[in-house]
Chains A and B, each alone.
Chain A
Amino acid sequence: MVLEEEVQIPLDRNTVFHALNDPEVLKQSIPGCEELKQISDTELEATVVIKFGPVKASFNSNVEIDPSQGPELFKLAGKGDAGVAGFASGGADVHLEENDAGTLLKYVVNIDISGKLAQVGGRLIEGTSKRIAKKFFANFEEILLQRQT
């Protein structure tokens, strides 16, 4: 499944880009994130709980971030294991464009879901994923704006 969306954040590109690389900001922004550990500069480990309709899944995830093309592009790729509920793997490319109103983030997310989640929640995955992505950026913006004040 591929999600393509964009979101406008009223802050300059460098601030936004650095925040994307900040584990503490990520932890607070990711909906359902219970734990997030930085393993190295580019490796993170996270525990994220997501509800897909009737199935509640706790993903133990390994995420690799690639900030090398910043601040224009932020990339991440990862895998999540929710045990009997299933597995997720995927990645995201976030393009950051400066404009008068701040920064426009255009993101393309690729997600493959397997296992029971795909069986039971097949019809719910797209909606849930969109909702999570929206919520992530809403939280993200809120945290950054709070920090500014």
Chain B
Amino acid sequence: MSATAESVQERRAALKGLGTSRKRVEDARFTQGKGNYVDDIKLPDMLFGDFVRSQHAHARVKSIDTSAAMELPGVIAVLTAKDLEPLNLHWMPTLAGDKQMVLADGKVLFQGQEIAFVIAEDRYIAADAVDLVKVEFEELPVLVDPFKAELPDAPILREDIADEKEGAHGARRHPNHIFTWEQGDKAATESVLSEADVVAEEMVYYHRTHPCPMETCGSVASMDKVNGKLTLWGTFQAPHVVRTVASLLSGIAEHNIRVVSPDIGGGFGNKVGVYPGYVCSIVASIVTGKPVKWVEDRMENLSATAFARDYWMQGKIAATKDGKITGLWCHTTADHGAFDACADPTKYPAGFMSICTGSYDIPTAYLAVDGIYTNKAPGGVAYRCSFRVTEAAYFIERMIEVLAIKLNMDAAELRAKNFIRKDQFPYQSALGWEYDSGDYHTAWEKALESVGYSKLREEQAQRVEDFKAGKTRKLMGIGLCHFTEIVGAGPVKNCDILGMGMFDSCEIRIHPTGSALARLGTISQGQGHATTFAQILATEIGISADDITIEEGDTDTAPYGLGTYGSRSTPVAGAATAMAGRKIRAKAQMIAAYLLEVHDNDIEWEVDRFVVKGAPEKFKTMKEIAYASYNQAIPGVEPGLEAVSYYDPPNMTYPFGAYVCVMDVDVDTGVSDIRQFYALDDCGTRINPMIIEGQVHGGLTEALAIALGQEIAYDELGNIKTGTLMDFFIPTSWETPNYETDFTETPSPHHPIGAKGVGESPNVGGVPAFSNAINDAFRAFGLTHTHMPHDHWRIWKTANELGLHADS
């Protein structure tokens, strides 16, 4: 190896660019308790708001008496719908084209719904005053079961739109019906099903759960009446969207609104939506002329801000006798709660549920989704997944298992037999997507080999024998999953939210001394953007990642972007970063050529510098170029070194992965013990392997929570039964197993650096892997499918129903 080659390597390493396990620059402040979250914001004369919420799931509000609350010293005002009506803010638009009450307008539709907003000098007074507001209710029949929504005796929930036959997503057939969304070829699929050798059917329920970020939602609004400027700090995954919506709602010009997302303590989709608390804090600040803070508590977070999932997926899958899948049919009943507040791109009221053909080459498919109103909290957000992709992945990965049982075939073999082959990419799916790239067989073989799959099956068979012989009370489950995600929304031609195209952006400023500032339209909630985006840029422009500051979240300074959710930051804003970096490099090339007194074409880029071709000793580093760009008159070139890129992706990206979960299940206690979890992820080009691993660990743990116990459960009166962390399962280190991570690398052909996004893959793939393991443990005893969440009680019940207990 020559000295020059070594030095190239050293210089490359010094950049800490793509592929480096660079330590997270954010962690210095987070690990020292120096983060700056919404609740850390303290302004002079700041007031506090708190909500009076509904205790009923469905009731008419006959009167609201605020007089006792107003008499409490320190209470400034109590807002009700009557106060907001003159401003036309008693209702607000949702991201899904519906509208939602900001404060109860005549009735309440879910437990925890906002009724009145108390503004007081401190949060304790506000909480006391909430208790003093007297609300008179007239209880109405409650609808919690979406399958009863259209029965003759069903109560009509949304009287405001009861007579409207058309909603934001087409025809409505009943006042409690929101939309029907159809994809694929219904007639062709039905014909395939009727002629198939084998058809497996199952109802797959993905229960209602909640992202439950460690930091709850909140905002601080400060209206400066002198200069007419509103500043709004809040837990926003999409600050620019919030600014635009706030401007449209309030009538305040967009340039007079500054929205800031400070540090965010986890989002997972919960912080995409616009909530009544944000609107009320703004109104309260306008009314009082003082800053107003609203921060919800844990119960409010779980019961009123956006939930996730709640999809009842009725499936039919058709195959030949030897296991070649010929068709897939799915009808989903989607429980959206009282208002349709899903955060999906406008044209996709069920998100990307149509990715439900998964990793398989299924020639014919049909999907229909019916959105239904019930007396539950609104939401339906993408909880650590791209829009409804977790539901889709869970559905197909359960249906594959159900089909394997019907065919009496090994589920791993059935998958391999039906994977889209490497040579079929770009692959056009039956439900309308163009998968950009993939190599499923390679990943699958690597996964099966790594876990010693055939040995595991032998051990499992022996265990069944031992169980039957009375030698053990523990069964063994092998949970397989091969998922394909669709992330990076998305191309403006088919992806928008409230009409706002889902591009993203990056603006770069190189300083004269050769360090840089890059601002993006996204916002980190723990993903480590300040670390990884600097790495993308380091490789593109040859400045060390340590010398690049990443800024996000302040709409006064950051370029417009649609925010961070649906694994879109790397696919979209990451692409914008690379493209802006390339613009910097193009200008730098002209400057370098001038300085080196050669033609532009006579120099080439090498790690951190432009080098004269054939004369490696003649070069200009990016640092030198940056200085010259500001301080040297270069004919025909403007001073300075800045660039901006707004990136509209040509396609989504399609990360995939192969997961295997091995579990022991105690038949008598229902306790599941995860022995091994292997996760192979292919997210294309890997920017920071350490952050990927961290993302996978976190996502798997959330998947474990969902699959094994976490749920938002309602009783028949519409009471939330899991409204505190005593009942809502959050795994601790005690419940969390060891994870083995692995990877293959299939770069996205259309992304500038080939990256695909990874933050959500482990949740998408993890849930089916855990659930399949539980189901698989009982396969030998006749179980086809049992619903999540697989908590100990439900597992025990399954064992009991299968007659595995001595007394059952």
Contacts and interface: CB of A to CB of B under 8 A. Distances in A.
A119 B303 CA distance: 9
Interface stretch (B231-239, B499-507, B712-720, B730-738): B712-720
Contact of B131 (A84, A87, A113, A118): A84
Contact of B111 (A85, A114, A123): A114
A115 B723 contact: no
B120 to A, nearest CB: 15
A114 B55 contact: yes
B52 interface: yes
B56 A118 contact: no
Tell me the interface secondary structure of chain B in the complex.
loop
Interface residues of B, number: 21
Contacts of B52: 84
A113 B723 contact: no
Contacts of B131: 83-84
A120 B55 CA distance: 12
B57 interface: yes
A83 B721 contact: no
Contacts of B717: 112, 114, 118
A106 interface: no
A122 interface: yes
B76 interface: no
Given A83-B131, A84-B130, A115 B299 contact: no
A118 B724 CA distance: 11
A43 B111 CA distance: 30
Given A83-B131, A122-B719, A122-B721, A115 B56 contact: yes
> Which of the four size classes fits the interface of chain A?
10 to 19
A23 interface: no
A119 B723 contact: yes
Contact of B723 (A83, A87, A120): A120
Given A113-B719, A114-B717, A118-B715, A84 B724 contact: no
Interface string B289-315: 000000000010001000000000000
A119 B719 contact: yes
A83 B721 CA distance: 19
A86 interface: yes
Contact of A119 (B56, B130, B134, B720): B720
A86 B55 contact: yes
A61 to B, nearest CB: 15
Interface string B322-347: 00000000000000000000000000
Nearest to A118: B719
Nearest to B718: A114
B466 interface: no
Interface string A63-90: 0000000000000000000011111000
A114 B56 contact: yes
A134 interface: no
B166 interface: no
A84 B55 CA distance: 7
Contacts of B55: 84-87, 114-116
Nearest to B52: A84
Contact of B56 (A83, A87, A120): A87
B445 to A, nearest CB: 48
Contacts of A86: 55
Interface string A103-144: 000000000111110111011000000000000000000000
- Most B-side CB within 10 Å, residue of A83, A86, A119, A120: A119
Given A114-B56, A115-B719, A118-B719, A123 B134 contact: no
Nearest to A1: B715
Contacts of B134: 83
Nearest to B720: A119
Kindly name the residue among A85, A86, A122 whose own CB sees the greatest number of chain B CB atoms within 10 A.
Answer: A122
Interface string B701-721: 000000000000001011111
A120 B298 CA distance: 11
Nearest to B133: A84
B602 interface: no
A1 to B, nearest CB: 10
Contacts of B720: 118-119
Contacts of A119: 111, 299, 303, 719-721, 723-724
Interface of A: 83-87, 112-116, 118-120, 122-123
Closest 6 CB pairs of A and B: A115-B55, A119-B723, A118-B719, A86-B55, A122-B721, A119-B720
Given A114-B57, A115-B55, A119-B720, 9 more contacts: A84-B55, A112-B717, A114-B55, A114-B111, A116-B299, A118-B715, A119-B723, A120-B723, A123-B727
20 contacts: A83-B131, A83-B134, A84-B52, A84-B131, A112-B717, A114-B56, A114-B57, A115-B56, A115-B719, A116-B55, A116-B299, A118-B715, A118-B719, A118-B720, A119-B303, A119-B719, A119-B724, A120-B723, A120-B724, A123-B726
